[in-house]
Structure 1
Amino acid sequence: MAFQHQPGTAMQCLSIPIKLAKEVGIDSEGREVMKCGFKIGGGIDQDFTRSPQGYTDNGIYVTEVYESSPAAKCGLKVHDKILQVNGYDFTMVTHKKAVEYIKKHPVLNMLIARKGVTHS
């Protein structure tokens, strides 16, 4: 079960593969940046009991997806739990490390868990 998972313990769940290719955009200072179009919350360094979204574990969750963004186009949804990005385990990661890893790569090959999805 992907939700209510304790970091460091074995987990069996259905994972959905999502490939997100970032798009070039311009930031507020006129610099070219790679944009993915989503925000995350959570991490092993966060207290999930204080999550405004009501998450039940320390996983990395998608908390916002911007309309018409690469994230929206590839099918990422709010409340998706990110299990892995480019082969890197996101079940045992701090919030800061997850943000840094996502920012670093132009293409994100993710495995996510989605509540209510029990088979493909």
Structure 2
Amino acid sequence: MTAYGHLPGEAIECLSIPVELHKQQIIDEFGQMVIRVGFRIGGGIDQDPTKAPYKYPDAGIYITNVEPDSPASEAGLRKHDKILQVNGNDFTMMTHDRAVKFIKQSNVLHILIARADLPPVSSH
């Protein structure tokens, strides 16, 4: 089984990668202190996948962009990684807005991701 094409609410067994991301405080062009993560997400159980710029096989939360030299790229996140958990919260049944709120609420993110080029778990 893989994490892709997963039905929300169904049990999932797949290889996953734990990532620890430390957000960065920077001063933006307006002189304001902002917290930088360095990635964007797409998807969610409330989104219409036919309107998405990328054709993902399910309603999961996916990383749609990773900025170079950002906390996300330094942590090893890649475009099209599927987010399974953030700080222990299940992201397989998450709306887009809730996912954004969970990502914004902590300065350190413990993320569990699935990556398409990892082999599926075999049942030997």
The verdict on a shared fold, with TM-score over 0.5 as the criterion, is yes
In structure 2, how many angstroms separate the alpha carbons of the residues matched to 1:106 and 1:34?
8
AA at the equivalent of 1:82: I
How far apart are 1:29 and its partner, in Å?
3.7
How high is the TM-score relative to the length of structure 1? 0.94
Is the partner of 1:8 in helix, strand or coil? coil
Larger radius of gyration: 2
Query: Partner residue of 2:101?
Result: 100
* Shift in Å, 1:93: 0.6
In structure 2, what is the equivalent of residue 49 of structure 1?
Answer: 50
- TM-superposition CA deviations, 1:51-86 (whole Å, max 9, x none): 221101000000000000000011000000000001
Q: How does 1:109-120 map to 2 (within 5 A)?
A: 109-118=110-119
Root-mean-square deviation (CA, aligned residues, Å) is 1.2
Q: How does 1:1-120 map to 2 (within 5 A)?
A: 1-118=2-119
Q: How many pairs are equivalent?
A: 119
> Secondary structure of 1:110's partner?
strand
- For structure 1, the 5+ residue unaligned runs are none
Separation (CA, whole Å) in 2 of partners of 1:97 and 1:28: 28
Stretches of 4+ aligned residues off by more than 6 angstroms: none
Unpaired segments of 5 or more residues in structure 2?
A: none
Q: CA deviation at 1:28?
A: 4.6
1:86 counterpart letter in structure 2: N
